[in-house]
Amino acid sequence: DQQVKQNSPSLSVQEGRISILNCDYTNSMFDYFLWYKKYPAEGPTFLISISSIKDKNEDGRFTVFLNKSAKHLSLHIVPSQPGDSAVYFCAAIVFGNEKLTFGTGTRLTIIP
């Protein structure tokens, strides 16, 4: 039972353009969402998060949007840079329970 889904296994974007990574979830109990970035041979690193009481959170080039009614969130990267090439995981959590449920990841490739 895949409660967090990232339906695009890969995405290629031209340098300087916007990258949009999508994530859908099925469990309505989730109330906090995180994005992690992973380079090869390294562990995932935290990128940005959003609480379910918000619909947008911004940090520099990274913005996460949450649509609770659609059970959908997206990560926008503007402008995209070569160093952004990595695998991005969406994760969700229920308040009071630190168990992260991860999606399957999207491999983002930024083309110079």
Partner 1 sequence: EAGVAQSPRYKIIEKRQSVAFWCNPISGHATLYWYQQILGQGPKLLIQFQNNGVVDDSQLPKDRFSAERLKGVDSTLKIQPAKLEDSAVYLCASSLTSGTTPYEQYFGPGTRLTVT
- Of the pair 20, 93, the CB lying nearest partner 1 is at 93
**Segment interacting with partner 1, rule: CB under 8 A, options 12-20, 36-44, 65-73, 75-83:** 36-44
Token code pair at residue 65: 């949007």
Q: Is 51 in the site for partner 1 (CB under 8 A)?
A: yes
Q: Is 43 in the site for partner 1 (CB under 8 A)?
A: yes
What value, to the nearest 5°, has the Cα angle with vertex 5 and ends 58 and 62? 15
Answer whether 26's CB lies under 8 Å from 6's CB: no
Query: Distances in Å between the alpha carbon of 12 and those of 7, 41, 103, 111?
Result: 15, 21, 19, 7
User: Binding pattern to partner 1, positions 81-110, x when CB under 8 A?
Assistant: --------x-x-x--xxxxx-xxxx-----
Name the strand (E) or helix (H) holding 11. Answer: strand 10-14
Summarize as ranges the residues that interact with partner 1 (CB under 8 A).
4, 9, 32, 34, 36, 41-46, 49, 51, 89, 91, 93, 96-100, 102-105
